[in-house]
Structures are given as C-alpha cells and as structure tokens.
C-alpha cells in the first residue's frame, strides 16, 4: 500500500496546532490560581494529559526530531513549574513535574505504536 506524504499545508497545520496547544498549556500553567477553570479532575491527570497531547502533536509536527521535541517539552514543563513560584496562588510541585514527564513518555509510546501507520513527511 502506498504511503501518502502530507502536503506542506498539513505539516504547517500540525505545527500551528502544536504551538497553539503549547500557548494554552503555558497560560494554564502560569495563570493565577483564581483564574483556573474549575473541574473535578485530578491535577496530576490534567498535567499528564496536557503533556501527552503536547508530545503527540509535537512528535507529529516535527517527526524528524523526536529527541528535540521530548527534550524541549521536558524543559518547558520544568520552566512552567518553576514559574508558578512567581504567580499568586500558585506553587510549584515536584509531583506535577513527574506527571508532565509521564505524559511525555506516554506520547513517545503512542508515537512508537503508530510508527509506520502515520505518513512521514520528507521535509
């Protein structure tokens, strides 16, 4: 079966989706506690889910650079946790950083499972 190569517009859309998701996660990470949307969902589940989705989008958008994407997201997660120490009603937590890392590792696992099933860009 022939493998379809995404058009440059598809690659651009994936990169835009990744950057948009990164902006949303950044805002949610650094918004004062009073501005956080209420939910009954575990904080660690939110961290894991956010970084897993960021990882999947990043790995799809930048397929030829999985280590760079992984390293960037790990560093970004640490930076966001550290930044919470400067935000009113927010505190950095080591466990949140671990949840971020777990989400990134899940994304790598999903990418490995999907390898060969998702068309790879040559650019």
What integer pLDDT is reported at residue 35 of this predicted model? 62
Contacts of 6 (CB under 8 A, 6+ apart): 14, 119, 121
Tokens of 103: 């989400």
DSSP states of 9-63: HHHHHHHHHHHHHHHHHHHHHHS-GGGSPP-SS-HHHHHHHHHHHHHHHHHHHTT
The predicted-structure confidence for 50-68, as pLDDT tens digits, reads as follows 999 999 999 999 988 999 9
| Number of neighbouring beta carbons within 10 Å of residue 4 | 10
The predicted-structure confidence for 75-116, as pLDDT tens digits, reads as follows 999 999 999 999 988 889 999 999 999 999 999 999 888 766
What integer pLDDT is reported at residue 110 of this predicted model? 92
What integer pLDDT is reported at residue 90 of this predicted model? 87
The predicted-structure confidence for 1-37, as pLDDT tens digits, reads as follows 555 555 667 789 999 999 999 999 999 999 887 666 6
| Number of neighbouring beta carbons within 10 Å of residue 41 | 9
State how far Cα 10 lies from the chain centre. 19
6-to-9, 115, 118 alpha-carbon distances in Å: 8, 15, 10
Report residue 122's pLDDT band, with 50, 70 and 90 as the boundaries.
very low
């Amino acid at each position: 079966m022939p493998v379809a190569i995404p058009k440059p517009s598809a690659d651009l859309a994936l990169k835009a989706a990744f950057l948009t998701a990164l902006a949303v996660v950044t805002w949610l990470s650094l918004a004062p506690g009073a501005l956080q949307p209420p939910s009954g969902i575990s904080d660690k589940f939110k961290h894991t889910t956010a970084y897993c989705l960021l990882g999947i989008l990043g790995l799809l958008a930048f397929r030829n650079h999985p280590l760079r994407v992984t390293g960037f997201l790990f560093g970004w997660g640490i930076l966001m946790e550290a930044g919470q120490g400067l935000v009113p009603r927010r505190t950095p937590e080591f466990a949140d950083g671990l949840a971020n890392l777990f989400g990134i590792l899940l994304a790598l696992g999903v990418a490995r499972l999907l390898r060969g099933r998702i068309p790879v860009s040559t650019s």
